[in-house]
A = this chain, B = another copy of it.
Amino acid sequence: MENEFKREHALVVLSGGQDSTTCLYWALARFGEVQCISFDYGQRHRIELQCAERIAARAGVPQVLIPMNTLAALGGNSLTDSSIAVGAEAEPETGLPNSFVPGRNLLFLTAAAAFAWQRGIHHLVTGVAQTDYSGYPDCREETIAALQSALRLGMETEVTIHTPLMHLSKKETVLLARDEGALEAMADTHTCYNGVRPPCGECPACILRARGFAEAGIADPLVAS
């Protein structure tokens, strides 16, 4: 397994968060060549993009930042619209949290696949996970499988979407980060919904992250720093 992809080139979708950073180190251990793609979609917390840049630089891999002004134009969600407070609970109308940007991961992965296609890269790596599936249907395994089919057919390419965290709990993701040598880089990641650094420690994202590290019995380098 470890040597399976040594001649292959992978493109990691890097958001600047804990999960995609773990995926970057997972890819570094498996692929001969690795690069990162990040999306500037008008996220309310610009700090995410700074984190992504720092993480790629620390890992010594090239990173490209691709703009996507479509999500903000579609509007109506708390991730890009600062007039809407981030809610952790599902909205009664849709059954989904108001941070749900419909199809966000589909758009990111399709654009990443286009970038990869142009460079002859056949492996995409993304940190989506259905274990901590918090109402985001575009993170589920069957969605990613269907998208992979659409990308293969639509681009006539043998692209594979790797989702190393798909079935891991937050605790297991922290343990994977340790095993892949990604722990130090965690100091550069961003998770907090309130966009502050050091993290607020009180929002749902901070609490979920803290629980994962606690259950793994590992100190979070971001909080320790």
Which residues does A use to contact B, with CB under 8 Å? 66-71, 73-74, 76, 95-96, 101-103, 105-107, 110-111, 113-115, 117-118, 137-138, 140, 142-143, 146-147, 149-151, 153-157
**Given contacts A69-B69, A73-B66, A74-B114, are A150 and B146 in contact (CB under 8 A)?**
yes
In the complex, chain B residues whose CB is within 8 Å of the CB of A157 = 102
Bound Cα distance from A74 to B11, whole angstroms:
14
Interface SS of A by simple majority: helix
Tell me how many chains of this kind the complex includes. Answer: 2
In the complex, chain B residues whose CB is within 8 Å of the CB of A68 = 68-70
| B149 & A150 in contact (Cβ 8 Å cutoff) | yes
**Residue of B74, B137, B147, B149 touching A118 (CB-CB under 8 A):** B74
Bound Cα distance from A101 to B115, whole angstroms:
10
**Residue of B71, B101, B146, B156 touching A149 (CB-CB under 8 A):** B146
How far is the CB of A215 from the nearest CB of chain B, in Å?
29
Bound Cα distance from A193 to B70, whole angstroms:
25
Bound Cα distance from A212 to B69, whole angstroms:
37
In the complex, chain B residues whose CB is within 8 Å of the CB of A149 = 146, 149-150
Q: List 21 A-B contacts (CB under 8 A).
A: A67-B70, A68-B70, A69-B69, A71-B114, A76-B118, A102-B114, A103-B110, A103-B117, A105-B154, A107-B110, A107-B111, A137-B156, A138-B155, A142-B153, A143-B150, A143-B154, A146-B154, A147-B150, A147-B154, A149-B149, A150-B150
**Residue of B71, B137, B142 touching A155 (CB-CB under 8 A):** B137
Bound Cα distance from A74 to B116, whole angstroms:
10
**Residue of B66, B142, B146, B154 touching A137 (CB-CB under 8 A):** B154
Give the interface centre of A67, A95, A107 by most chain B CB atoms within 10 Å.
A107
Give the interface centre of A68, A96, A102, A115 by most chain B CB atoms within 10 Å.
A102
Task: Return the chain B residue nearest A64 by Cβ.
Answer: B73
